[in-house]
Structure 1
Amino acid sequence: RLARWLRLAGFDTRFDPAATDQELAAACRAEGRWLLTRDRRLASLAGPRVLLLRAGSWPEQFVELGTRLPLVSQRERWLSRCPRCNTPLRAATREGVSLRVPPYVAAHAAQFRECPGCGQVYWEGTHVARIHQRLAALLPRAGTSGRCEEEGDR
Structure 2
Amino acid sequence: MPKFMADHMLGRTCRWMRIMGYDTQYPKCNSDNDILKKCMREDLVLLTRDYEFYKRYPKSVFLNSPDFKAQLKQITEMFPPDPDLFFTRCPECNAILRVVETKTMGEGFDLVKSRFETVKQCPECGKYYWEGSHYYRIRDEINELIKG
TM more than 0.5: yes
Q: Does 1:119 align with 2:126?
A: yes
SS of residue matched to 1:35 = strand
Match of 2:74? 64
Match of 1:37? 48
Say what the alpha-carbon RMSD is for the aligned residues.
1.5
Amino acid at match of 2:47: L
Match of 1:52? 62
| Aligned match for 1:25, one of 36, 39, 58 | 36
| TM-score for both structures, normalised by structure 1 | 0.82
| TM-score for both structures, normalised by structure 2 | 0.85
Match of 1:8? 19
Match of 2:140? 133
Q: Distance in 2 between matches of 1:22 and 1:13?
A: 18
Q: Distance in 2 between matches of 1:85 and 1:118?
A: 7
Q: List alignment gaps of at least 5 residues for structure 1.
A: 142-154
Q: List alignment gaps of at least 5 residues for structure 2.
A: 1-11
| Aligned match for 2:92, one of 81, 84, 87 | 84
Q: Distance in 2 between matches of 1:100 and 1:56?
A: 40
Given that 1:101 and 1:121 are in contact with CA atoms closer than 8 Å, whether structure 2 keeps it comes out as: no
Q: Distance in 2 between matches of 1:35 and 1:20?
A: 14
SS of residue matched to 2:35 = helix
Structure 1 ranges of 4+ moved more than 3 A: none
Amino acid at match of 2:112: V
Identity among equivalent positions (%) equals 28
Structure showing the higher helix proportion among its residues? 1
1:62 CA displacement: 0.7
